[in-house]
């Protein structure tokens, strides 16, 4: 599904900031080209998140008043459940080096993002990559040694 939204782009403290008029959030870049790419990435991620979780897509508006004296940037992305990079629970388990049962626990705990599509449950590849980047140590945390008591 094609999503088209208007952003305001303005410079602040040496960075270019981009904020959509119709949603909360935004992004930044070092120059206009980078902030345009980042706005497209931001919009892609936002629309995929809404599609995965059944959230409504805001109605886009155009010709909005520029609150920061910036410029208008119109961004269009093709995004929906079909564009989400995904994997099965078994593949996520292999990738993370855990059991499929642990993947289910991680989904329930909000550590991995899952969604339904065509009667199947999928794990978003982005959430698996984010989890790998955190590089948590396997196993239970070690108990800290008790401080010696003063006698």
Eight-state DSSP code of residue 69: S
Give the pLDDT band (50/70/90) at residue 122.
very high
- Taking the C-alpha atoms of residue 44 and residue 56, their distance in angstroms, rounded to an integer, is 15
**pTM: predicted TM-score of the whole model, two decimal places:** 0.82
Give the pLDDT band (50/70/90) at residue 38.
very high
Proportion of the chain above pLDDT 90, given as a percent: 87
Cα dihedral 116→118→122→125 (10° resolution): -110
| Per-residue model confidence (pLDDT) at position 141 | 66
* Domains of the chain by residue range: 2-81, 85-134
- Taking the C-alpha atoms of residue 40 and residue 46, their distance in angstroms, rounded to an integer, is 10
> Which CATH code fits 2-81?
3.30.160.250
pLDDT at 42 over 60: yes
Of the options 1.10.10, 1.25.40, 3.30.2310, 3.40.50, the CATH number for the domain spanning 85-134: 1.10.10
pLDDT at 151 over 70: no
pLDDT digits (tens, 9 = 90+) for 90-108: 999 999 999 999 999 999 9
What DSSP string runs through 114-138? EEEETTEEEEEHHHHHHHHHH-PPS
């Amino acid at each position: 599904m094609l999503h088209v939204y208007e952003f305001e782009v303005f410079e602040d403290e040496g960075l270019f900031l981009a904020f959509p008029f119709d949603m909360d959030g935004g992004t930044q870049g070092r120059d206009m080209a980078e902030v345009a790419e980042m706005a497209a990435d931001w919009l892609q991620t936002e629309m995929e998140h809404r599609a995965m979780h059944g959230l409504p897509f805001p109605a886009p508006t155009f010709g909005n008043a520029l609150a920061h004296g910036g410029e208008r940037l119109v961004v269009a992305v093709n995004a929906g459940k079909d564009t989400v990079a995904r994997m099965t629970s078994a593949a996520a388990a292999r990738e993370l080096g855990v059991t499929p049962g642990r993947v289910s626990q991680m989904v329930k705990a909000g550590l991995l993002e899952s969604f339904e599509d065509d009667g199947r449950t999928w794990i978003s590849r982005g959430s698996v990559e984010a989890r790998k980047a955190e590089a948590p140590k396997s196993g239970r945390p070690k108990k800290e040694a008790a401080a010696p008591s003063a006698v």
